[in-house]
Amino acid sequence: MNFTSVIMAAGMGTRMKSKMPKVIHKVCGKEICRWVIDAAKNAGSDKVCTIVGHRADMVKEILGDICEFALQAEQKGTGHAVMQAIDVIKSAKKEVVILNGDIPLITAESIKKAVNYHRENGNQATVITAVLDDATGYGRIVRGDDGGVRKIVEQKDANDEEKKINEINSGMYVFDSESLLYALEKLTPNNAQGEYYLTDTLEILLNAGKKVGGYAIADNDEIRGINDRIQLDEAEKIMQKRINEYHMRNGVTIRNPQSVCIEDDVEISSDSEICQNVTIKSGTKIGSDCVIGSGSTLDKAVIGDGVNVISSVIIESEVGAGTNVGPFAYIRPNCNVGSDVKVGDFVELKNSTIGDGTKISHLTYIGDSDVGKGVNFGCGTVTVNYDGKKKYRTVIGDNCFIGCNTNLVSPVNVGDGAYIAAGSTITDDIPEDNLSIARARQVNKDGWKDKRK
């Protein structure tokens, strides 16, 4: 589509009561401003410039190289903010779309429609508007007989007839680049606040005989700005509904979707089921025919087909097809769990590889380990991987049997097919197919009770 976008994100956001700028607070796992930038790009914007101000370095560091930046060192109004992107505007070949950086619900489709409306009607400027049931407090759009925008009247300046108008200014616009440059050059701070108002550019263009139109957005939620934590919550609820419905339309069953939190950038294949009270964070991929049970949290997890997860946490790890996890399992970062594995109740894995078909049924800690295929872990097995200064790895071969209450003191290697007797503390390597017993021999003392009397 080829247009330039300027996103105003320099405000302090004092009502958020936060040390962070409001535009980098997150909605469904993605920064508020990033939602706006992505919408502009997906609509066809080939250049995006974000105006930063309050804690600009933090905003630039978090957003990275996804757009250009311009600095508004002093807060002198919306017109002044756009002036900081003057070089970007001068280089624009077609339209410049001005967007607010605190409207995460704006969609690419609406931006695209606004630009098309601007082009089809031959406008030099187009105000993106909304029609509200109650427009109290907003600037009203006053249209002429031809349907074009004649002026924007603020609430305090509106007469009785103008107050009845329910079409309002969203604070976002589409300009022809040359017309915007012309208006910015003539913009002055002749008002009580001594600020440069972007809305004044419309009057400048109208006085110059330019055509100004208004495009009414279809979904008023898209222009919702976020100023405090309550509005952040309201926006997140709307975005969450969008995300959940997207997955449901693509063949995913979500039980009680109002209780399920799925962030942006999550992939779920068809015929998987997400139960109530589940959290799925950005970067997670879930295969088909999976069941993610109540109370589970997945964070940057990669889940194969046919996996069942019951009330468990999986973070930055991969789980192979047909594996069962939980209840109450904790798979920490850097784990690669194979196919048809059982990771049972109160099992914790960390920085480990688990081979196909291995069973870790309950009450076990496996950390910094490489475990082969077909291994069976008895209840209460622990890899003792830390000596107080350094962590070491445990290596367990294929088809081993690890008895209950075994301690594996790293570094240690257990060969293929080895058996470890219950209650053993293993400090030395075990050759393949050996039985290792590392516990005190049982002693039964005959008549001991009688001797105590």
**Which DSSP string corresponds to 14-42?**
GGG--SS-GGGSEETTEEHHHHHHHHHHH
Which residues participate in catalysis according to the annotation?
Answer: 362
- Please write down the long-range contacts of 372-375, taking CB distance under 8 Å and 24 or more positions apart: 372/396, 372/397, 372/398, 372/399, 372/400, 372/416, 373/338, 373/398, 373/399, 374/398, 374/399, 375/399, 375/400, 375/401, 375/402
Strands 261-262 and 279-280 turn out to be parallel
The C-alpha torsion from 65 through 66 and 67 to 72, rounded to 10°, is -70
Phi, psi of 83 (to 5 degrees): -60, -30
E strand residue ranges, 316-428: 318-319, 324-325, 330-331, 336-337, 342-350, 353-354, 359-367, 369-371, 376-377, 382-384, 394-396, 401-402, 407-409, 412-414, 419-420, 425-426
